[in-house]
Homo-oligomer: A and B are copies of this chain.
Amino acid sequence: MPSSIGTALRVTVFGQSHSQAVGCVIEGLPSGHGIDARRLAAFMARRAPGHASWSTPRKEADAIRILSGLNPDGRTCGAPLALIIENTNTRSSDYSMLRDVPRPSHADWTAQVKWHGEQDFAGGGHFSGRLTAPLCAAGGIALQLLEGHGVRIAAHILEIAGISDQGFAALGSSRQASALATQMDMLSDGRAFPVLDQDAGAHMREAIDAAHAQADSVGGCIECVVTGLPAGIGSPMFDGIESTLARAIFGIPAVKGLEFGMGFGVAKLRGSQDNDPYEIVDGKVRPAKNYAGGNLGGITTGAPLLFRMAVKPTSSIGQEQRSVDLTTQREVPLRVKGRHDPCIVPRAVPVAEAVAALAVLDSWLAWPPDPPTDARFD
């Protein structure tokens, strides 16, 4: 069972919901970069559980301990950076029955099929959403590095339970960059429930509470944008920025859909509508609009990289569901106990940003805008 991603920047994630710790190793991090521990902790806090009505009451400090990869001055030294987050609040007894009765739409049963009962079933094991904590840690570090080069990444809740937030102003011309920057500024306060339209947000929270009251859960959709990228990042075909992001994004538990730019909307457009003409802005070639979502042929255009991802409702719900007892091979009712988020979308927002940061930094390092001939040898 591998758990790595990346080419030039490779992140290997380890840990299970109830193992001693979760963590990751980051290979390929450029040297000489300081890490702002306070900002990293603030980023982690956005994902951390236990802070709101829509979040599991399982409390984890999610404190990061960096084991290696820094030089005596505290900057990245080029060697692999390993970090761990201790699992301090595990209540395995909540989960002991999962060995026999798989929770619907969790990986309990597929893991059982694959590992014949040797998998760590406790709390979902390696499939647990807990694994997004080290992903966020790695992504938070990548984000700091990218920000040092003018890149910004922001995500928000676009939809929950059919209620929509306002979208990013990212499909238009580069002349409208300030509108998008204003939206991103609004989100930069690290809000726990990141939406652009506060009224929509209030309605979403009501929908979450309503589902919660019925021991149910709700799904949603997240929109993420990356600005400040130069043109030329990515590679054709399977190492394009879309392919790289897609592999990473579908590695996040509960993601069921992904689209770039106009996304599925292209099915209703003509070429004359969808195509982004070119114009000259400030003496430079720029797409006149950005239906392509910031890349063509897998290579960035310099326009905002924009994607949306669908997040399914939390599978763990308190309502009675139909399942089977794997030992007796009989159908049995199941009521999932334990502590669950009625909606994981809010906590998945920083995860989207983190994974975007990892994929973008990897693509930048692996498939950068090519230097003029031979410069790479100097």
Contacts and interface: CB of A to CB of B under 8 A. Distances in A.
Interface stretch (A50-58, A189-197, A311-319): A311-319
Interface string A226-263: 00000110011111101110111111010111111111
Given A21-B67, A272-B319, 16 more contacts: A1-B78, A1-B235, A13-B237, A25-B25, A32-B116, A71-B119, A71-B120, A71-B125, A77-B126, A102-B278, A110-B296, A126-B236, A131-B237, A149-B377, A218-B271, A274-B313
Contacts of A161: 267-268, 270
Contacts of A279: 322, 324, 331
Copies of this protein in the assembly total: 4
In the complex, which range does the number of interface residues on chain A fall in?
A: 35 or more
A168 interface: no
A282 to B, nearest CB: 11
A216 B271 contact: yes
Most buried by B among A72, A114, A240, A326: A114
Interface string A17-47: 0111111010110111100000000000000
Contacts of A4: 10, 12, 27, 238
18 contacts: A1-B28, A1-B236, A2-B237, A3-B239, A4-B12, A15-B79, A21-B82, A72-B92, A76-B118, A79-B236, A107-B298, A113-B231, A114-B370, A116-B373, A118-B373, A240-B250, A258-B258, A368-B377
Contacts of A262: 256, 312
Contact of A257 (B68, B125, B263): B263
A75 interface: yes
A130 B245 CA distance: 24
B373 A311 contact: no
A88 interface: no
B297 A111 contact: yes
A216 B10 contact: no
B220 A267 contact: yes
A349 interface: no
Given A269-B313, A283-B329, A315-B271, A3 B237 contact: yes
Contacts of A253: 297
Given A115-B31, A264-B221, A280-B324, A246 B256 contact: no
Interface in A278-295: 278-280, 283, 285, 287-288, 291-293, 295
Interface in A56-100: 65-72, 75-82, 84, 92
